[in-house]
A and B are shown apart, each in its own frame.
Chain A
Amino acid sequence: MSGNQKPSVGPKAVRQIIIALLLVCAGWVLIELEPIKELLGFTDTEHGHDDSEVIPGFHTPGFHAAYGFISCVLLVLAATQMRRFVKRDEDYYDD
């Protein structure tokens, strides 16, 4: 299984992917801002249920963006700490 340990995608391509991701991320939040919505002619459509009353701040622009980012960072940090308690040798059950 040994071999070279270089990244499988070149640094230039990685940089381009990250820039594209940042642009897309910015775009999905900007699209929620009222002036942009009006500019593009988007309106909130009826989707069969009303969720604005239930969760405060649910329709604040960027709520889901922040929720997604923070969730994932916390998930990974918590899971990393969990290794302290649950990680054993690969052949732990084999003996």
Chain B
Amino acid sequence: MIEQLPPGLIFALGLLPPGLILVLGGILLPLIPKQVRPLWLLALPVFGLLQVLQLPVDAECVVQAFGYDLELLRVDKLSRIFGIIFHIAAFLSVIYALHVKDVVEQGASIAYAGCAIGAVFAGDLISLFLYWEGTAITSVFLVWARRTERSYKAGMRYLVIQVGSGVLLLAGAMLHYADTGSLAFGTSWASDVGEGLRGAFAFETLADASPATLLILLAFGIKAAFPLLHNWLQDSYPESTPTGTVWLSAFTTKLAIYALARGFAGTELLVTIGVVMTAFPIFYAVIENDLRKVLAYSLNNQLGFMVVGVGIGTELALNGAAGHAFAHILYKGLLFMSMGAVLHRVGTIKGSELGGLWRSMPLTTIFCCVGAASISAFPLFSGFVTKSMVLAAAVEEGYTISFLILLFASAGVFHHSGIKIPYFAFFAHDRGLRPKEAPKNMLLAMAVAAFLCVAIGCVPGPLYALLPFEVKGFIPYDMTHVVTQAQLLFYSALAFVFLQKTGLYPPELPSTNIDSEWLYRRGGRRLTLGSWGACARIGGTLRRSLDLLVDRKLAIIKKLHQPDHGAFGEPWTLGTAAIWAAGMLAAFALLGLL
């Protein structure tokens, strides 16, 4: 049953499309008195969440604009779960950033959350594009908020890539409209429940995919940090402020996961892409020194699990993808909060310069460990009850090799996010650092996020109720799941101890590890500079050759016209001139006869 809400009614009731409350709130922020701004910022996600909760599932609002049907609002269980977690993430991030006085960062961050929320409730490709670009433009201010030259340059690279993703999306939308005459971004999942549900643009093989489909997949793939398209994430997130990275970690990539689920659920290619995403970033995470960059790599790894879930495309797998996105936003936010607190207090986040902070930052240490346990999918923590759905779906559908790689990646993520992050920041060598505990607002945000991580892990029922499909026959806490996961994790911990004790574990070294960004930061530059140099050399040679040619011709002309000596320079006698004139006349006469 689709309930059509007339747009006039929506605006009359003051119900802006979801997300716009936050976008407008962010834009109006500079006009709000400074003392009221924290309250204003806290109120926006609360009002936004209330609005989403009261919207009926299956609500739609279609308006006509420029002859196109724009579906400004579409509520189904998929958009709803993303809408809810985005509001919760915005609220926690506001608390975490309450001490921030930079109005640009504050306004941009809440508007950024609003754009992401708007995007998940947009039912057509044009609205999606507008919000898609909105997230790019608002979020770049969070990278720039650090106000360093590095962050400025990283922000520029981030902006080019993010806006580029939007341009690809628009091009895909236009081609799709030319092919089908429709701008709709899929259909409401609530009306499609049943077997064989696939994304709006899902395809069997690459050969079946239209150019429109491929452009849209590429646009989503950039934001979802597909392999080789991923490096904007590790490049930009660690350059932001301690608070900015917390905001950034929640929205852009999970919006892409939502878009992939809506657009490409059941596309088998995504299983392969997702598996690669889970596996390759963990190698970088092991040797990376910047602990927020380690988290960026593990973010990439976690996105891989969601992409696999989308690719498998069964109800269990899609529930796993959506549920894991929900849990992930909380625990990844918590981990970035704890590292942000360290950066805020110590002034560095390099593993080679940290250690022993548990003595003076005990609460931050505990919260970080909760985040680490959650991302590692320890039983009783949030990651366990969501990631196991994706793994179970992979086994059920016969993706054996993919499953084994996912298992490897699960062990690996515990290794670098579960152990490395807390170990090198809070334990390891005591470097004599005794900073103050994190500010109270940061601690509060971390405490709430940690509570939610444990609550979801211990009582998954309420989260399962929010999932796109009814959870049937899946029991996270059975003997086999718990024992096998516990073995995997505890023996990973044992491996860490073994490698540390034997000196095989690589030390944290101040370094830059080149990744695919090298292609455009060094390779592209070399190519451009090299091409420029080659063009300049060819141009110079051509110019010199031309100059030489002209000089020679001029010399001949000059010689011929030299007074007294040149053929044309010396004065002609009357007889010579008469002979030339007669010759010319004869030539003309001959030409006339021909």
Contacts and interface: CB of A to CB of B under 8 A. Distances in A.
Interface of A: 1-9, 18, 21-22, 24-25, 28-29, 31-32, 42-49, 51, 54-55, 59, 62-73, 75-80, 82-83, 86-94
A75 B487 CA distance: 17
A55 B513 CA distance: 36
B491 A69 contact: yes
Contacts of B430: 3-8
Contacts of B493: 21, 25
B513 A9 contact: no
A93 B428 contact: no
Contacts of A46: 475, 478
Which of B348, B474, B488 counts the most chain A CB atoms within 10 A?
B488
A22 B494 CA distance: 8
B592 interface: no
B190 to A, nearest CB: 23
B546 interface: no
A45 B479 contact: yes
Contacts of A45: 475, 478-480
B431 interface: yes
A22 B497 CA distance: 10
A44 B475 CA distance: 12
Contact of A80 (B392, B415, B506): B506
B441 interface: no
A93 B411 contact: no
A67 to B, nearest CB: 6
B483 interface: yes
Nearest to B431: A3
Given A8-B358, A82-B287, A25 B491 contact: yes
A65 B12 CA distance: 61
A83 to B, nearest CB: 5
Contacts of B522: 93
Which of B358, B408, B490 counts the most chain A CB atoms within 10 A?
B490
Contacts of B474: 47-49
A8 B427 contact: yes
Given A67-B407, A71-B412, 6 more contacts: A8-B426, A8-B429, A25-B494, A68-B490, A68-B492, A79-B286
24 contacts: A3-B433, A4-B430, A4-B431, A5-B430, A8-B359, A24-B490, A28-B483, A46-B478, A47-B392, A48-B316, A48-B472, A48-B475, A49-B396, A54-B395, A54-B398, A55-B395, A64-B483, A67-B408, A67-B491, A69-B498, A70-B495, A71-B408, A86-B284, A88-B512
Nearest 3 Cβ contacts at the A-B interface = A3-B432, A8-B356, A72-B495
Contacts of A73: 495, 498-499, 504
A86 B415 contact: no
A55 B284 CA distance: 29
A46 B481 CA distance: 11
Contact of B488 (A43, A65, A82, A93): A65
Contacts of B407: 64, 67, 71
Given A3-B430, A6-B429, A71-B492, A80 B287 contact: yes
A18 B513 contact: no
Contacts of A86: 284, 287, 513-515
Interface string B105-126: 0000000000000000000000
B478 A47 contact: yes
B494 A69 contact: yes
B510 interface: yes
Contact of B495 (A5, A9, A49, A69): A69
B521 A93 contact: yes
Which of B283, B474, B485, B504 counts the most chain A CB atoms within 10 A?
B283
Contact of B150 (A8, A67, A94): A94
Contacts of A92: 512, 514
B473 interface: yes
Nearest to A9: B427
Which of B430, B474, B515 counts the most chain A CB atoms within 10 A?
B430
B484 to A, nearest CB: 4
Contacts of B515: 86
Nearest to B290: A90
B451 interface: no
B474 to A, nearest CB: 4
Interface string B388-420: 000010011010100110011001100100000
A22 B513 CA distance: 34
B426 to A, nearest CB: 8
B489 interface: yes
Contacts of B464: none
Nearest to B495: A72
